[in-house]
Structure 1
Amino acid sequence: MLAMNKYKILGTAVVAVVASVVTTSCNDKRSTGWEYAPNMYEHIAYDPDQKNEQFKDGKTAQVPPANTTPIGFTRFDFPSSNEGYAAAATGIVNPLAANPATLAEGKKLYITFCSPCHGATGAGDGEVVKHGFPPPPNYATGQSSRGGTMKELSDGKIYHTITYGLNAMGSYASQLAPEERWKVVMYVHHLQNL
């Protein structure tokens, strides 16, 4: 008889605990319970578009000081103009050593970023041309829209064009880091000689 009372008492206690948990958890629908690391979603830093009394103009997002270079950024001091193009033609040369590994990396980058328009061999027969877009000139036999043949393009001219774009070609400065652009320049020279 004592054993049956133990089971009744235990069963009643379990039912009471379960009932109290269910009723207390359903009262406040707005509460999500305890907060873990609330500073992850209630930040104290200013948002870029938020007013900020710490600066004279009241803006949080500030323009960098003049003549500064961001960390990890490589300066290219030739403007996006015909004068900048002409200056880059003789003013810069590829700083990378020509070797099979660098050429192979240049080929991978060229196939990924350039071949959709210029074609795998630089003949101007990429996929976009097959869909009605005007073909770019052939690297080996074509004429440059800025004068001269494509075969005569120097390191600086190709690098300037990749950086700023030309005609229907947009800039690839945001897709290709400076070192990657030099690898593509090296591979374009390889295609010029095919």
Structure 2
Amino acid sequence: MNKIKILGTIAVAITATIAISSCKDKRSTGWEYAPNMYEHLAYDPDQINDNFKDGKTAQVPPAGTTPIGFVRFDYPNSKDGYEKASVEVKSTLPQTQANFTEGKLLFTSYCSPCHGLSGKGDGLVVAHGFPAPPSYSTGVSSRGGNMKDLTDGKIYHTITYGVNAMGSYASQLDPTERWKVVMYVHHLQTL
């Protein structure tokens, strides 16, 4: 009987301790385990920071640096940059069926609304009153020359910077995807 009395007293004491400690502060989250996981010590980007001369936390990267994963395209968005890219820029992407198929899929998603599925400049936006882009096989480029004679560099430059009513697709297509679209556009030039 003594054991039951002792166990009962312990159980009542534990229950009372839990009840009292859980009711004292409704706003308390309880014990903190590894508080540095949610109370960060790092500065916020817009916070004043005495570690730098200008007092800003968000610093401009050093001149001439390239972010990880970024691929440079050192041709300016100008007629001269376009012509220079025409001569110097060539695709290094392997001419495989998988790359061609993905290029076709990307072209269908991003380019066909204006250029049409076959690259004839008969996309859906033309039906809504927008000017038709030139056909890849028979059209004349606004920068001079026939569309069927566009080189890798010219197409890549145009996708990267845009031209006329066409905006830049650099934020939608990474460099590898742009080369796949270039591969598919070359196919459309022969139709």
User: Equivalences for 1:110-121 in 2 at 5 Å?
Assistant: 110-121=107-118
What TM-score, normalized by structure 1, do the two folds share? 0.83
Residue 114 of structure 1 aligns to a residue whose secondary structure is helix
Of the three residues 114, 130, 134, the one matched with 2:131 is 134
Superposed CA deviations along residues 13-51 of structure 1, whole A, max 9, x for unmatched, are 978876775565344221122223322321111112212
39-48 vs 158-167, greater mean Cα deviation: 39-48
Query: 1 CA distance for matches of 2:118 and 2:155?
Result: 16
Counterpart CA distance in 1 for 2:33 and 2:120 is: 59
2:94 is paired with a residue whose SS is coil
Alpha-carbon distance between aligned partners in 1 of 2:127 and 2:28, rounded to the nearest angstrom: 59
- Separation in structure 2 between the aligned mates of residue 36 and residue 192 of structure 1, nearest angstrom: 64
| Equivalent residue, structure 1, for 2:44 | 47
- Structure 2 distance, partners of 1:25, 1:54, is 43
CA distance in 2, matches of 1:136, 1:19: 79
- Give the Cα separation in 1 of the matches to 2:125 and 2:17: 68
Provide Cα deviations, 1:34-89, integer angstroms capped at 9, x if missing partner: 22332232111111221211111111111121222222221111011111111111
**Partner of residue 87, structure 2:** 90
Which residue of the partner structure matches residue 37 of structure 1? 34
Deviation at 1:141, TM superposition (A): 1.7
Match of 2:142 in 1: 145
Any idea what the Cα deviations from partners look like across 1:159-192, whole Å, max 9, x if unmatched? 0011111122221112212121111101001011
For the pair 1:75 / 2:72, whether they are aligned, the reply is yes
Amino acid in structure 2 at the alignment position of 1:93: K
1:11 Cα deviation after fit? 9.4
Match of 1:4 in 2: none
Matched to 2:79, the amino acid is: N
Question: Which stretches in structure 1 are left out of the alignment for 5+ residues?
Answer: 1-6
Paired residue total: 191
Give the match for residue 182 of structure 2. 185
Q: Pick one of 167, 172, 184 that aligns with 1:170.
A: 167
